[in-house]
Amino acid sequence: MLLLVGLGNPGAAYQGHRHNVGFMAVDAIARAHNFGPVRVRFRGELREGTLSGAKGSTKTLILKPLTYMNESGNAVREAVDFYKLELSDVVVIYDEIDLAPGKLRVKTGGGNAGHNGLRSISAHVGNDYRRVRIGIGHPGIKEVVPLHVLHDFAKSDRAWLDPLIDAIADAAPYLADGDDAGFMNKVALLTAPPKPPSKPSDPKNREKE
């Protein structure tokens, strides 16, 4: 079993915030793979479904904590305890200010880099869960970070954000397979800019050949 946790803050006022990109990603995964309806469990919204990858089908739970970001660990702990999951079965998807906008990285464990959602989860279940880090960029000034993350994505961000969210949804079965490198490669391929068309060779040059 896989538990996908998207981090964000509940409510319409936060819906488009950079801090809610984890919610956006897991919602896209649920839509793309026909997950079941939302149920309120474990202090969050829970959906059940299946991700089918190279290693077969994996029962997958998507959890969006409704505890607000700073208390995300409460919801994750309840789900982990109920299903008796190992931390390797837990994947947390969240915003990362130390990555450039549109960049994506996956790692297991590591520091929390001041992210309150991660800090709460680590305090409740330990640190060695898997992490999908979605880059939202740094505003350049430490004091501006709260305003940056608790603000809607700019209209210009949609050019990279929408394809990235779609790619994460498409590549999600790699996470179920435990193939984090394959997941990153798939996302990179799906979001790579198109190659410019090759220029036709000059007829004069062909004659010289």
Where do the domains of the chain lie, and which CATH numbers do they carry? 2-208 (3.40.50.1470)
Radius of gyration for the alpha carbons in the chain, expressed in angstroms and rounded: 19
**Can you give the pLDDT at residue 159?**
94
Collapsing DSSP states into helix, strand and coil, what is residue 61?
Answer: strand
Instruction: Compute CA distances 12 → 9, 15, 66, 155, whole Å.
Output: 9, 5, 12, 18
Instruction: Please check the confidence at residue 151 and state whether its pLDDT lies above 90.
Output: yes
Average pLDDT over residues 178-188: 96
**Can you give the pLDDT at residue 205?**
58
Average pLDDT over residues 68-76: 95
Instruction: Please check the confidence at residue 113 and state whether its pLDDT lies above 80.
Output: no
Average pLDDT over residues 82-86: 97
Instruction: Please check the confidence at residue 10 and state whether its pLDDT lies above 90.
Output: yes
**Can you give the pLDDT at residue 193?**
80
Instruction: Please check the confidence at residue 199 and state whether its pLDDT lies above 80.
Output: no
Task: Say if residues 62 and 6 touch (Cβ distance below 8 Å).
Answer: yes
Residue 12: Cβ-neighbour burial (10 angstroms; 0-12, 13-18, 19+): exposed
pTM, full prediction: 0.90
Instruction: Please check the confidence at residue 204 and state whether its pLDDT lies above 80.
Output: no
**Can you give the pLDDT at residue 110?**
85
Q: Which of the residues 17, 19, 115, 148 is marked catalytic?
A: 19
Rounded to whole angstroms, the Cα distance separating 73 from 78 reads 9
**Can you give the pLDDT at residue 203?**
59
Mean pLDDT taken over the chain = 93
Query: Which pLDDT band, with edges at 50, 70 and 90, does 197 fall under?
Result: confident
Task: Say if residues 4 and 93 touch (Cβ distance below 8 Å).
Answer: yes
Question: Is 19 among the catalytic positions?
Answer: yes
Instruction: Please check the confidence at residue 207 and state whether its pLDDT lies above 60.
Output: no
Rounded to whole angstroms, the Cα distance separating 52 from 203 reads 51
Instruction: Please check the confidence at residue 50 and state whether its pLDDT lies above 90.
Output: yes
Task: Say if residues 64 and 30 touch (Cβ distance below 8 Å).
Answer: no
